[in-house]
Amino acid sequence: MQALLTDELNQYSTNTVMQLAEDKSSLIWHFRIRNLIAPNSTVFPDLLSFPPVIISFIQKLDSYINLNDNWDSYGAVAPSVISIRNARRFLINNANVSLPYYFISPGVNGEVMIELSKGRKAAEIYFNSDKSTELLLFENNNCLLESNLKDSIKELIKFFND
């Protein structure tokens, strides 16, 4: 749990269950979603503040755990736990940042790729099995920047909000 939720603890809340306690169906839904994000956690994100796209991406990420090698018929490596965990952490930490989340998919070498897109602009973020990240910014599919998330997160946000 700590490994998953060490960043930005101010985004998390322990009172969400109390808010939903009167609605049983919502409570069941809440626990299901919570377990996708932080299984066995007693401190978990306030999921109701997350945009639906983030919830959807996290659900897809969780499903990648079940993929085996050669899942694409061309010999792809199954997504690694590290890649999935780091992509999930990025989504949780940046759920409310103004970024145009568009698509998520596993890569062929065990990585996870998150794509952002807004008009002619797009970005691809790769969470690799060796814990590294790659960030590419595109305009009309022409690459403008190749970097990593740590060094260029500000450029990423600026790129989509100029």
Partner 1 sequence: MIDIPSIVTIGENDRLLRRVQFLHPNFIKPDGTPSSASFSLKTDEKGLSVDLERLTSYEKSILDKTRFRLFYLSASFTVQLGLINQHDPQPDNYAHTLVMGNISRSVSRQLAAAAKRIYFP
| Positions in the binding site for partner 1 (CB under 8 A) | 60, 63-64, 67, 71-77, 102-103, 105-109, 113, 115, 124, 126, 134, 136, 138, 141-143, 146
Is-contact 132 125, C-beta < 8 A?
Answer: no
The CA-atom distances, in angstroms, between 80 and each of 1, 55, 72, 111, 136 are: 18, 20, 15, 7, 21
Is-contact 17 30, C-beta < 8 A?
Answer: yes
- Nearest distance, CB of residue 71 and partner 1, angstroms: 8
Distance CA(126)–CA(151), nearest Å, equals: 14
